Structure 1
Amino acid sequence: MISISDAISIVKANGKPLLQKTIKKVEKAGGYLLFEDILSPINMPPFRQSAMDGYALNSHDDLSYQLIGEIKAGDGHQPILKKGEAVRIFTGAAVPDSANAVMMQEKVIQDGKNIITIEHQIQLEQNIRPLGEQVKTGDLALKKGTKLTPAAIGYLISLGITEVSVFKKPNIAIVTTGNELIEAGQDLSYGKIYESNSKMLLSTLYSLKFYDVTLYKVEDDYSKTVDILNTAINDNDLVLITGGISVGDYDFVGKALNELLVEELFYKVKQKPGKPLFYGKKNDTQIFALPGNPAAALSCFYVYVYIALQKLMNRDAIELPRIEAKSISKFKKKGDRPQFLKAIYNNGEVEILEGQNSSMLQTFALSNALVYAPETVTEINKEDTIEVIQLPV
C-alpha cells in the first residue's frame, strides 16, 4: 500500500501526451487544443468599420455638413465624400475611404432634411475601427496549444475558418463488473441494484469534454472478464474499471489484468475512500481499476484519473485546484488513513457534509469540493484552516 503523494507521482510519471492530430469542424472543437498555429486568412475587421451609430464625415473647418446618403451594416456601396459632406452610418457598417471620422448621433443636430450640425470639432479617425485592428492577414490568430473556448470558437468563425487541426482526445473505455447490477428502468428484483457507476463516470467525462467513450458490462465470470478487458485495452487509450478489484471469490479483475500482462504500477493506496485502487498500463494504454463503491470511485477519478486525462491532452494544469479555506464544520476522523471528505466550498469557507460513507452518492451530489484531511489530522474544528480540492462545475 502506497501513499497518496506517491500514487499521484506515479500517475504523472506514466502519463504520455497522445500528440495525434485530428480535424474538427470549428463549432464542434470546443475544449480541444490547437495542434498547430492558425494564421488569419483575412483582416479583421476586413474594412474600416463604424464603432457606433452616427455620421461618417469628411471633415472641414465648419460644424455643418451636407448629408448625402446612408450606409447600413452589410451595405457594399462606398460613396465618395467631399469635404463638408457626411453619410448616416450604423454600428458595424463599412466606413467610406473618403470619410475620416464618425460622430456619434447623440452629438449631432439635424437642422433640415440634408443638413447636420455637430456640437464640436472632431478628432480624425474617431469612432472608426481600422482595417485589421484585431488581426491582419497572415498574422498569428491563435497559437498551437490554445484551448478552444467558446470565445475562441467565435473568433475563428469570424475569420471565416471552418475546420481546425486539434490534438486528438483519448478513446476511453468504462468497464463495469458485477452480477448484482441491472440497468435503471428494469424491475428491481431482490438482491439487485441499479448500476450507476458507468453513467456517473460517463457524465463526468462528458462534463470535461471527453466524448469518445465506450461502455462495457461484464458479469462475474473470469473468462468473460479477460475477453472484455482485452478488447477494452486494445481499443482504447484509457480504461476505467469499476468493481471486481478486491480479493473476494468473485472479484476477477486483478487476475484478468495479470493474465493480460498488464504492468501493475500500484495497487492499494493509503486513503479513505478508495483504498483498493489499481493503476497499471499495457503498451500505451493506462488502466485504472476503481473501487466499486460509487463515492469512492468518483473521489479516485478526481484525484488520479483527472491527472491522467490532462496528461493525455498535453495540458499544463494537470491537477484540480487546491486552496486553503476556513472550516465552518466539526469533523472527527476515524482511523489513520488520510481522507477525502465531501464538502461545499463558498467564498473562503468550507462546510464538511454529513454522510461520508464510500457507498453514498447523496452527499456527493451536493458537493463542489473535497476536503483533504491528512494522516496527522484526527479532528477538524470550526475556524481551522484546511486544504480544499475544488471540483469541476
Structure 2
Amino acid sequence: MTQPTLFVELHILQSLPPSNINRDDSGTPKQALYGGARRARVSSQAWKRATRMEFAKAEPPADRATRTKRIAALLAERLAKPAAEGGTGVDAAGADRLAAALLEPLGITKSSKKEEQSAYLLFFGKRQLDSFVTLLDGRAEELLALPETKLKEEVAKLQVVSTLSSGHPAEVALFGRMVADLPSLNVDAAVQVAHALSTHAVRTEFDYYTAVDDENVEDSGAGMIGTVEFSSSTLYRYAVLGVHQLRENLGSAQAVREAAVRFVDAFVRSMPTGHQNSFAHRTLPHLVLVTVRTDQPVNLVSAFEEPVTGHSGLAAESAARLAGELTAVGQTWGSVPVHTLAAYGLEGDKLANAFGPSVAFPALLDGVDTLIGGWLTDACLPQARTEQAGVR
C-alpha cells in the first residue's frame, strides 16, 4: 500500500540591503549564473544552518541537537558526572575509556590530525548521550575492571547502534543525518532547501573603509585601510517540508505538528550572519507563500529565469512574476496546490487571485498547523482500519 505524501512548500521574496551574508573563499558574495545573468546567491547550507540556529532558540537546551567531531569528549564528560547528575561517577580516565568503547560499534574513528576529535562531523541529540549512560545500567565500574578485549565484547552486546538510531530530536528529524561508514545511522531529511537566488541581475560593489587610531595625535592617517565586497538583492527563497517523512522520523503526530510549524517560523525569520556587524542586514520578507501539495514539490524559481528589471522597484514585480508562474504551472501541468496560504504587504489583484488574501504571519502559522493536523488524522485512518482488521 502506497503511503500518502504531503509537501509543505515555502516560497519567500525578501530584499537585502548592501550585505555579504554568504561569501566564497575570496570574500566575494556568492553568485550564480541563471537565465544568462549573474545573480546573488546564498547557499542552502548557509540558510539551513541559520534556520537550525533559529529553530533551536525555542528548544530546551537538553532537547537540542549538535553537529560536532567532539562526540567522544561530550560522552566522556557526561559519563564522568556524578550519578546524582545523570552520570556514572567514574574518573576522567575511566570515562574516556568507556566512551571510546561505546563509540567503537558506531565506526567512529579518531581524526588523524586531532586525537580528541572524530574523523567526521556527527549530528545527534544531546538526550541520546543520556541514553548511552542508561545503557550501562550501573555497570560502569564493573566494565572498567575488565581487560580491553573483554570490555569491547561486553559493550558489543549493548544496543549502541539502535540507541543512536532512535529518539531523534526535531532538528535531526528535519535536516537528516548521513554517516557514510554506518548507513544504519542515516536519517532521511524531511526538509530540502534550495540555494536562494536574486530575482534580478546583480553587480558586486566594494566598500572602502578606514579605521581611525583614537590615540594617534601625530598625524591624520588611518590606523587601518581595507575593502569588503557587498551586493544588495531581492532574493527568491524556497524550501519544502515532507510531512510524511517527518512523521516517519518523529512518530508522534503532536511532535510532527510542533516541529513543522516551528520550522516554517524559523525558516522565514532566519538570516545568515556573515558580516552582520558591518551591514546590519537583517530584514523580514515582502512575501511568504505556503503551497501544500500531495503529488510532488515544485520550485517556482523559473518565474525569474528572465531577470526582473525593476522599473518601479524589484519586490512588486518579483511578486507578480511569482503569481504568474504559480498560475501557469497549474494551467500547463495541472499541478495545482491543494491549499495556499500567504502573508504579504504588497498590493495587486494578481497576487490575491493567485495566492489568496494576505493573512498575518501568526495566522499563517496557525493555518499550517491546522492543515498538517488534518492530514495526519486522515493519513492515519487507513492504517488504523487495517490494523483493526488484523491485516498487515
TM normalised by structure 1 equals 0.21
Larger Rg computed on CA atoms: 1
TM normalised by structure 2 equals 0.21
Instruction: Specify which structure has the higher proportion of strand.
Output: 1
Instruction: Specify which structure has the higher proportion of helix.
Output: 2
Higher relative contact order (CA 8 A, sep 6+): 2
